[in-house]
Amino acid sequence: MKYLIIGILFIATNLFAQSDQKSEKILNQMSAEIKSMSSFYIEFTMNVKNSATGEDSNQKGEGFVKGNKYYASLGQNILISNAVKNWTVVKEEKVVYQSDVDLDDDEGMNPKKLMTIWEDGFKNKYDKETQINGKKVHQISLYPTNPNEVNYHTIMLYVATDNNELQKAIMKTKDGSTMTYSIDVFEKNKSVPDSKFVYNPQNNPGYQIIRD
């Protein structure tokens, strides 16, 4: 589930000490854009590579966000929240884990908070202008200000120069893994019913629900 949370978090004002002005301006604009949306929809591809273990895998994911409500899927896992209850659907186990949303939990999965993760706990650095599939992008690196508290050391964002939208994000972890999230589809203010953000047992007959 860690990968899914990180996948959704990457898409897209207190940006951080020791950051340069160019990257700060770009990230501020990204934050403002995300916060101005009533909702959004995303499709992405996640690639995980680790030369030590030989892993090289791809998975497709998607997510809907509306305010503090969200629905996200990656592989066999689904996360759902209506901002009151959270549901984690683990298809491999045929189990649904239900819990209350803790509004006071700083580590909680508030999608808009995750989508603007760079606002707190990171130094940022503008690396260069480059290209992805012929499209000009800004390359910006994020470094955690408390590296001992996280399992990664670098996050790289690739932001389109023409519309300031995220195109790709790369996370490099301390165990040698590289997780690359490529944004395939991003739709702003997409209409989505509130029922999308409530778990419906009829969609998964025979699944056990475990409540905290």
Looking at residue 196, what is its pLDDT?
Answer: 95
**Cα–Cα distances in angstroms (integers) from residue 68 to residues 38, 76, 89, 108, in the given order:** 10, 23, 19, 11
Cα–Cα distance, 143 to 121 (Å, whole number): 8
CB 179 within 8 A of CB 3: yes
DSSP-derived 3-state class of residue 197: helix
Q: Which domain holds residue 40?
A: 2-211
Look at the chain and report how many structural domains it folds into: 1
How crowded is residue 9: how many other Cβ atoms within 10 Å of its Cβ? 21
In which band, very low, low, confident or very high, does the pLDDT at 100 lie, cut at 50, 70 and 90?
very high
pLDDT at position 76 over 90: no
pLDDT at position 112 over 80: no
Looking at residue 192, what is its pLDDT?
Answer: 92
Mean pLDDT of the chain: 84
Looking at residue 102, what is its pLDDT?
Answer: 75
In which band, very low, low, confident or very high, does the pLDDT at 13 lie, cut at 50, 70 and 90?
very low
Looking at residue 115, what is its pLDDT?
Answer: 62
pLDDT > 90 in the chain, percent: 53
Query: Beta strand 208-211 with 95-100: parallel, antiparallel or unpaired?
Result: parallel
pLDDT digits (tens, 9 = 90+) for 181-210: 898 998 999 999 999 999 999 999 999 999
In which band, very low, low, confident or very high, does the pLDDT at 34 lie, cut at 50, 70 and 90?
confident
CB 60 within 8 A of CB 73: no
Cα–Cα distance, 200 to 195 (Å, whole number): 9
Query: Beta strand 122-132 with 95-100: parallel, antiparallel or unpaired?
Result: unpaired
pLDDT digits (tens, 9 = 90+) for 113-130: 556 777 778 889 999 999
Q: What is the CATH number of the domain that holds 115?
A: 2.50.20.10
What six digits make up the tokens of 17? 């000490």
Looking at residue 1, what is its pLDDT?
Answer: 52
In which band, very low, low, confident or very high, does the pLDDT at 15 lie, cut at 50, 70 and 90?
very low
In which band, very low, low, confident or very high, does the pLDDT at 91 lie, cut at 50, 70 and 90?
very high
